[in-house]
């Protein structure tokens, strides 16, 4: 991928669908200019990408969109979260800064050096983070204008065994973790997710749900839920191929989409 390539895709769904499947962490691509500031060798970087990438989640979302009765919209990051993490706060509000994983990571999943602490985050935030945030904000605004509401379903995955960077990884690690927000996750959305996925826990080992800041905490028409799928249920860890569990999980995600589309 070149530095000028499109860093995300907004893939249209049905005009009357309020649902956006948001896939922020599925890619491994790193533009050359960004790679130049990452201190890991190629083999080390490949191993880090195996651990940090939510592998095959874009395929799960794609298969769910094909299966759903009402086709959802999809917003898919085409760059690795090692470029920028679009779901972090870009400032001191972000608690993951404590482990070098704010909007621009300086540490690896195992606490090693990823970038020099002297690397300026500002240019990466301006080049990649802010355009992504503006586009996601517009995508939500478009669903609100078209349908009167927006439902953001964040599609993630996480490893079976806790990685050192996890601040709150000591709890249960269920097949599917449902991350909630006290303002934006409605009881109906949560109930639909529990019915769609067989085995779930709430907010363990990850909590919260992504909402663009323009709507966060102020607009109840924007609902949000994070779906964290444990990787061993659909792929070989770390970074290996997908297995038959992918289609099963895509079908469950499609059921959730249809349940909240009406």
**Could you report the per-residue pLDDT of 102-116, keeping only the tens digit for each?**
999 999 999 999 999
Helix (H) or strand (E) holding 156: strand 150-158
Spatial neighbors of 131 by CB under 8 A, at least 6 apart, are 7
Cα 97-98-100 angle, rounded to 5 deg? 55
Tell me what pLDDT residue 1 has: 52
Please name each of the domains of the chain with its CATH number.
8-261 (3.40.630.40)
Q: How far apart are CA 64 and CA 76, in angstroms?
A: 14
* 4-54 confidence digits (pLDDT tens): 567 999 999 999 999 999 999 999 999 999 999 999 999 999 999 999 999
More confident residue, 112 or 90: 112
To the nearest whole number, what is the mean pLDDT of the chain? 96
Q: How far apart are CA 112 and CA 45, in angstroms?
A: 11
Answer yes or no: are the C-beta atoms of 128 and 87 closer than 8 Å.
Answer: no
**Whether residue 164 has pLDDT greater than 80:** yes
């Amino acid at each position: 991928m070149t530095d000028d390539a499109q860093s995300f895709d907004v893939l249209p769904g049905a005009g009357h669908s309020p649902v956006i499947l948001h896939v922020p962490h599925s890619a491994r691509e790193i533009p050359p200019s960004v790679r130049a500031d990452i201190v890991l060798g190629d083999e080390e970087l490949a191993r880090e990408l195996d651990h940090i990438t939510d592998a095959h989640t874009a395929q799960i979302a794609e298969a769910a969109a094909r299966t759903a009765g009402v086709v959802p919209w999809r917003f898919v990051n085409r760059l690795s979260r090692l470029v920028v993490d679009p779901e972090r706060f870009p400032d001191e509000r972000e608690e993951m800064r404590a482990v070098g994983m704010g909007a621009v990571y300086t540490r690896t999943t195992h606490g090693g050096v990823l970038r020099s602490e002297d690397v300026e985050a500002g240019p990466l935030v301006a080049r990649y983070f802010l355009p992504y945030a503006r586009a996601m904000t517009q995508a939500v605004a478009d669903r609100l204008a078209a349908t009167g509401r927006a439902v953001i379903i964040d599609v993630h995955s996480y490893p079976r065994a806790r990685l050192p960077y996890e601040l709150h990884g000591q709890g249960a690690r269920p097949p599917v973790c449902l991350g909630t927000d006290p303002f934006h996750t409605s009881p109906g959305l949560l109930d639909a997710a529990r019915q769609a996925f067989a085995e779930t826990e709430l907010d363990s080992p990850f909590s919260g749900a992504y909402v663009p800041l323009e709507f966060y905490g102020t607009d109840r028409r924007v609902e949000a839920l994070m779906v964290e799928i444990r990787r061993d249920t659909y792929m070989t860890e770390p970074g290996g191929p997908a297995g038959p569990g992918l289609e099963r999980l895509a079908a469950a995600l499609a059921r959730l989409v249809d349940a909240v589309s009406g």
